[in-house]
């Protein structure tokens, strides 16, 4: 147990790990705070997701600083990682950008049809990995 | 698709759902924001977790407002839920309370031995479930 610990993940590795998952969480850190699951994709170096107009997430997150988080953890092997993307959430309205997001085949978490497309402009990307006996066997 | 949507979960159901998982996330919403995975348990109506002294999580979260979030989502069936527990993070130092947490068999995310025990005093508990065609078949 004593050899477990946390290791910093490089920015490049963070993006590779973000690409392995589909469900992440958006933490709204100002105003009325909350954490909302999202189905997401990467658009260049930004995280994009879809959500319905009028939702708590849209009201709380748009044009505010948010933290997007995604992780994966194996409770048996006790290995895992977590990545944070800090930035401002902005609605994507330009038709060419909306079309690019459409091409990603992204769905919204709650499956809404009339949805809005949100981008988190990545300002700071950081990640940590649990390393230890179990992890070093791989 | 049009019948999908979000349904509010009762406080009682939120606690039942929290009890079904082991990994959640703590979002620090003031100071330097960040989202940290934790292995957690319930101590009465509070969320408790262990973490090492000197970690970013301890420095960022203690005696501050945080949002604990846990969710489960099936990307194929498109069903899932998410629960938020809003409250202040406090270190547990009273020996009898530490002993109660010890009895829960709780580990820290990064497997540290010399750890600290943190409680999130639940002030507000809320939850949402994705409901739709797939969900109503159950």
Q: Are B28 and B34 in contact (CB under 8 A)?
A: yes
Give the pLDDT score at A127: 96
pLDDT at A134: 43
Q: What whole-number distance in Å separates Cα of residue A117 and Cα of residue A53?
A: 10
- Write down the pLDDT at residue A132: 64
Q: How many CB atoms lie within 10 A of CB A131?
A: 18
Q: Which residue of A4, A67, A75 is in closest CB contact with B33?
A: A67
Listed by number, the residues of chain A in 4-43 with a beta carbon closer than 8 Å to a beta carbon of chain B are 4-6, 22-23, 25, 27-30, 33-37, 39
Q: Give the closest-approach CA distance of B80 to chain A in angstroms.
A: 9
Q: pLDDT over 70 for what percent of chain B?
A: 89
Mean pLDDT of A101-112: 83
Q: What percent of chain A has pLDDT over 70?
A: 89
Q: H helices within chain B, ranges in order?
A: 11-18, 56-61, 95-102, 133-136
- Indicate the pLDDT class of residue B131, thresholds 50, 70 and 90: confident
Give yes or no for residue A113 having a pLDDT over 70: no
Of A54-58, A111-115, B19-23, B92-96, least confident by mean pLDDT is A111-115
pLDDT, mean of residues B111-138: 77
- Whether the model clears a pTM of 0.80, i.e. scores above it, the answer is yes
Q: Which two tokens stand for residue A26?
A: 């958006």
* CA-to-CA dists, residue A39 to A87, A88, B80, B92, angstroms: 17, 18, 12, 35
Chain A within 8 Å of B59 (Cβ-Cβ)? no
Q: What is the pLDDT of residue B1?
A: 39
Partner residue opposite B5 with nearest CB, options A36, A37, A110: A110
Partners of A73 on chain B (C-beta within 8 Å) are: 23, 37, 109
Q: Which residues sit opposite A65 in a β-bridge?
A: A88
The structure tokens 């988190």 sit at: A120
Whether residue A69 is predicted with pLDDT greater than 90 in this model: the reply is: yes
Take residue A122 and report the two structure tokens written for it. Answer: 């990545």
pLDDT > 90 in chain B, percent: 60
Rounded mean pLDDT, B26-44:
91
The alpha carbon of residue A8 is apart from the nearest alpha carbon of chain B, in Å, by 12
Indicate if the pLDDT at residue B29 is higher than 80.
yes
Chain B residue with CA closest to A129: the answer is: B110
Q: Test B22 with A75 for CB contact under 8 angstroms.
A: yes
């Amino acid at each position: 147990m004593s050899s477990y610990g946390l290791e910093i993940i490089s920015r490049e590795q963070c993006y590779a790990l973000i690409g392995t998952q589909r469900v992440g969480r958006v933490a709204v850190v100002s105003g009325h705070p909350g954490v909302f699951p999202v189905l997401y994709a990467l658009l260049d170096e930004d995280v994009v997701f879809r959500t319905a107009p009028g939702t708590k997430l849209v009201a709380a997150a748009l044009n505010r600083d948010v933290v997007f988080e995604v992780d994966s953890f194996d409770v048996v092997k006790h290995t895992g990682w977590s990545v944070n993307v800090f930035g401002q959430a902005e609605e994507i309205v330009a038709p060419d950008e909306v079309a690019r997001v459409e091409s990603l085949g992204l769905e919204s978490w709650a499956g809404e049809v009339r949805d809005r497309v949100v981008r988190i402009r990545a300002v700071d990307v950081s990640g940590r990995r649990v390393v230890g006996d179990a992890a070093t066997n791989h």
